[in-house]
Amino acid sequence: MMKPFLLLICIVMSLPTLAQLSDYPVVFIHGIAHRYEDWRPMAERMTRDNIYTAGFDSEGNIETDAPAAITSTGSIWLLSYYQPKPIDESLYGDLTLYSERLGQLVELVKHKTGSEKVVIIAHSMGGLVSRFYMSRAPSHWQSVHRILTVGTPHQGVYQSVPIVGQLQDLATNSKFIEQLDKQWSNFPEANLKWGVVGGVSFINGLIAVNGLSSDFAGPGFVSLYSSIPYGEWKQALKQPGQAQLNTEHFGYRLLLQSGHRELLKHPKVESAILWSRQL
């Protein structure tokens, strides 16, 4: 049996040290039809300091509760790309617009913190918004240290009803996803800074074999083939709950048995966030 002090040393050595973690601000991005509070429980587990918010008012102006300058390193931010006009956003909003707004918010965070980069943690549709922002220009790409997408439909949502902008963009094989994939391919080092976490509510039979298992046991939610794209879901399915580093397309890959909303609080997602902050 291992002696207690040796066991303690092994545990400490297995955890990221302060020297291994970046000082870049961490920005949390929500999914469809939500705003700041999605990620707050996770953010509160990460820090005892202030958690700042930034988003837009009904006139499209940026509003934030952060002071003029943030002196603490590794600050935590909850960002929202929506205006508080749910009907207008539902009818007229699209992911290209939201990526433009996200770019404004990232610049605000960089300005207030004096940081050259941020770490992005994005849930669901927010992962597509974030990746599209990153892929639009080399300067955007360089502004992100790492990105972790959690329950994001990278290949679209199987039964999205393409009626309005957001839902059109979320549909499988949409023009938006086609453009995103094309732009993303311009950055061959993507696997060095992109981590994915996918969830399934159950793993069973042909549904799993085809990658159609979803994170809420229904085709309208995010299917496994979409949350862990490029066919890597097949390998992830063999190792549920076990993180894999530096695969062909991702710096971090993890499949969890979890519902879509439950991913926001899952303890193993917290470990994935540590990966995204490492130097």
Instruction: Write out pLDDT tens, residues 166-220.
Output: 888 999 989 999 999 999 999 988 889 999 999 998 765 545 656 778 888 666 6
CB contact set of 103 (below 8 Å; sequence gap of 6+) = 133, 136, 140
Per-residue pLDDT tens digits for 224-277: 999 999 999 999 989 999 999 999 999 999 999 999 999 999 999 999 999 999
Domains of the chain (ranges, CATH numbers): 21-277 (3.40.50.1820)
Q: Which residue has the higher pLDDT, 33 or 81?
A: 81
126-139: average pLDDT: 97
* Maximal C-alpha separation, the chain: 65
Place of tokens 């601000």: 25
Cα separation, 244 vs 232, in Å, equals 11
Strands 51-56 and 62-64: antiparallel
Average pLDDT, the chain: 88
* pLDDT(54) > 90: yes
Residue 217: predicted pLDDT: 66
Percent of all residues in the chain with a pLDDT value above 90, rounded to a whole number: 70
Backbone angles phi, psi at 44, to 5 degrees: -70, -25
Q: Is 221 helix (H, G, I), strand (E, B) or coil?
A: coil
CA–chain centroid gap for 260, Å, is 13
**Least confident range of 20-29, 61-70, 204-213:** 204-213
- Of how many residues is the chain composed? 279
Specify the pLDDT at position 193.
96
Question: Model's pTM, two decimal places?
Answer: 0.90
Q: Which of 151, 160, 152 is nearest to 259 (CA)?
A: 151
Centroid of chain to Cα 247:
18
